[in-house]
Structure 1
Amino acid sequence: MTNTATTPSGQPLGISHKPSRTAAMFDELDKANRPAFIGYLPYGFPDPEVSLKAFKTLVDHGVNAVEIGLPYSDPVMDGPVIQAASQIALNHGESIHGVFRAVETVANAGGVPLIMSYWNLIYHYGVERFARDFENAGGAGLITPDLIPDEAGEWIEASDRHGLDRIFLVSPDSAPERLAVVSKAARGFVYAASRMGVTGERKTITDSPEALVERTRKAGASRVCVGIGVSTAEQAAKVGAYADGVIVGSALVHQLLGETGRKALDEAEGLRNLAAKADELAQGVASAR
């Protein structure tokens, strides 16, 4: 049987020279002196079909790149809002097999499709198989919150073969040596977590992310985006003043949830809320510089 990492003739696949779509996005935004607006939603929430409409809504209302989350039963980084949304998605039978429809939806809408996933899901799907299917769907890059470069050899090779970006995380506690390792291994951008802990909306954003962005750039990163806690236009403008991109997750997911946080809103109401919040945040990002 021919290995999936070889050509039909059995020759090993080489390195793709396809340019980074994420890098191209940043270059285009640089011309307007604007940071990127990166929005997150879990695939399959509140159900697979509505989630596709939600991803398109994000792009239609100012989101440049979409983080498509793969719901997971044992998250280590997700706060209560994203956990609730992910559980609803899992209850509706969400699986990794369908996520590539979301990738195609974002790409067709004109956005840059990213996937954010815990490594266990990719590993069990098959690393080479995932990279191939992701590329074929029009994907740009993978964010791996629980995979460090030191243990990412298989993914680094597969992403090089398929021209996909590798987005690793750093935190305010990351040592200079760790920042250098991550910056060297990353392709597309480095994800700077604004604080230690899980995702979630916050009333204030401290100055620690700005220092982390500066340290990460000094360590060799060409692009650094900040996430975790950004939930208002004011916060987005503050972060966008120094970061290459502003990442928003919980504040967007929240728009599709009812008051109890356990049940999704009616489709029409949820999508209206999502569009309004994306517009608000997009204005904040646009006013950052």
Structure 2
Amino acid sequence: MIAVIGENVIDIFSEADGRFVAKTGGSPLNLAIACALQQVPVSYMSPLSSDAFGDAFRQLLQSRGVSAGFPQPSTAPSSLAFVRIDANGQPSYSLYRQGIADRDYSAEQLIAALPADCRVLHTGSLALEPQDAGKLIPVLQAAKQRGIRLSIDINVRLQFVSDVAAYRAVIEQVLTMADYIKASDEDLAALYPALSLQSAVGKIRALAPEALLALTCGAEGASLYLGSQVISQPVIQPTVFVDTVGAGDTFFANLLVQLLQLHQANQSLTDLDLALCQSALQRACLAASLNIAKAGCQPPDKATLDAALLKLA
């Protein structure tokens, strides 16, 4: 079982004819769905609104096999994001995040809702807002005390947080507890603008020396840092390039699913079979490539990914 804490956001896209189209989104929610499509039990633990958008999220999660883990709907509205896709297929966002449903929780509520069979708890992105750290961090600590592994996608969004310095401090505090970390080259450039990419990687690894770090670098592919080992995978070109929305979420979801199978209880990450880790990285990159070939975040299901992997071999 993988449990997920983090934002659910209605993404509003501007169409060429002037219409606005609303779609369900949010990095942690995307990851929860991508994991479930690989036939892994998933609990999405952040609150959903009682508004019409909240109903849409509930229907989406149910249709994808994700259980809604929070005990009751929130009376707060769903979060909104206006999304612009540039000429290179890269999204930018204008977010509305104050007084919204997925932030309407207490530490006690989430600790009580942690599934008994949870093996990995994932969070990151806007859940790392410093105003919420006082209630998120106790949940992460409680999970670690129960032997649950912690997954963090830092997914840095400096323009949407209340205090940039406090935000960096929260990220660094959370990373010290992490078992699995995902960052992009863009994340690290935003988090540590004075450092080179490799220096920033070194800083993250110093904070969590025993964690697995997955680093994505766009067209340059992805790498896993594991102990003294570095495993790399070139980018797998999509059949057609549409946009990169949800590509990182799809990548990390599929990597987590593989790690759930590979990383046994009480096993050190440095004892993992490197050949199997290479295969897991390739599968995650292929999943991201399949997502890029579609508009928005549309992760592949297990059958589609299995078939694509056979063609790649």
Is TM more than 0.5 here?
A: no
Greater RCO (Cα-Cα under 8 Å, separation 6 or more):
1
- Counting strand residues as a fraction of each chain, which structure ranks higher? 2
When normalised by structure 2's length, the TM-score is 0.39
